[in-house]
Amino acid sequence: MSLKEQLNTKNLPKHIAIIMDGNGRWAKQKGRLRMFGHENGTKSVREITEACAEIGIENLTLYAFSTENWKRPKIEVQTLMRLLISSLKSEIKTLQKNNIKLNTIGNTTDLPNKVQRELLDVIEQTKNNTRMTLTLALSYGSRDELLNTIKQISIKVKNNIISPEKIDESVINEHLYTRNLPDVDLLIRTSGEQRISNFLLWQIAYAELFFTDVLWPDFTKNHFYEAILCYQNRERRFGKTSEQLK
């Protein structure tokens, strides 16, 4: 039986988030420039997005550019932005064909105008698609998101729109960039690094974590199915005892 056939379609994660890491090292291993790795990383994005649509994952969130990634050499940032524009232009067909809605989280107003325009265009064109939501985290940082949330809620408290006693988890959820998404069930990071790098800190509170040494440009559908199979073999107790779940 193929890995795909082994998946239990009744126990799929509703929301998978991926820290797509290792493009630079992949290129270096091949004696090429980092950009070559980023270019090849876009193939994995297409593969994994398609895999999600095929098996019925409703939400996929990809960490594409962090608030910290602005500190990279200017030339790398520029080429990444250019790559983003060309990928959006070429992938719109795949999104439409697979009935996928595009969404973004992060400080997208920090992105170059051209990128913002392209994003808005694809978001608009795919807004009525219903099979799956693909969220790109762009200029995203979880601390930045939480700071924004706290500021927005504080302003509402100051203006008597919310009373402090009424602030609960749902109020916080409603003010995050991810307000329309369920909590993350499975977080995958490629490239062997075992850290979160400021990604979705609030939203992964009870996510299952899966780390693999595979570099992002080498990450295939089968690697992805392996991660989901691993998830399906775990017992998510949410604080309860194993016996309580039976």
Which residues are catalytically annotated?
21, 69
Q: Which stretch binds ligand IPE (CB under 6 A): 1-9, 112-120, 178-186, 187-195?
A: 187-195
DSSP string, the chain: --HHHHS-GGG--SEEEEE---HHHHHHHTT--HHHHHHHHHHHHHHHHHHHHHHT--EEEEEEEESGGGGS-HHHHHHHHHHHHHHHHHHHHHHHHTTEEEEEES-GGGS-HHHHHHHHHHHHHHTT--SEEEEEEEEE-HHHHHHHHHHHHHHHHHTTSS-GGG--HHHHHHHSTTTTSPPPSEEEE-TT----TTS-TTTTTTPEEEE-SS-GGG--HHHHHHHHHHHHTS---TTS-HHHH-
Of these partners, ligand IPE, Mg ion, none, which one is at the site of residue 210 (CB under 5 to 8 Å by kind)? none
| Interaction of residue 118 with ligand IPE, rule CB under 6 A | no
Of these partners, Mg ion, ligand IPE, none, which one is at the site of residue 197 (CB under 5 to 8 Å by kind)? ligand IPE
CB of 197 to ligand IPE, least distance (A): 4
CB of 174 to ligand IPE, least distance (A): 25
| Interaction of residue 69 with ligand IPE, rule CB under 6 A | yes
CB of 65 to Mg ion, least distance (A): 11
Instruction: Report which residue's Cβ sits closest to Mg ion.
Output: 21
**Per-residue string for binding with ligand IPE, 11-40, x by CB under 6 A?**
--------xxxxxxx---------------
Q: Residue 21 or 145: which CB sits closer to Mg ion? A: 21
Instruction: Report which residue's Cβ sits closest to ligand IPE.
Output: 24
- Which stretches of the chain bind ligand IPE, using CB under 6 A? 19-25, 63-66, 69, 80, 191, 193, 195, 197
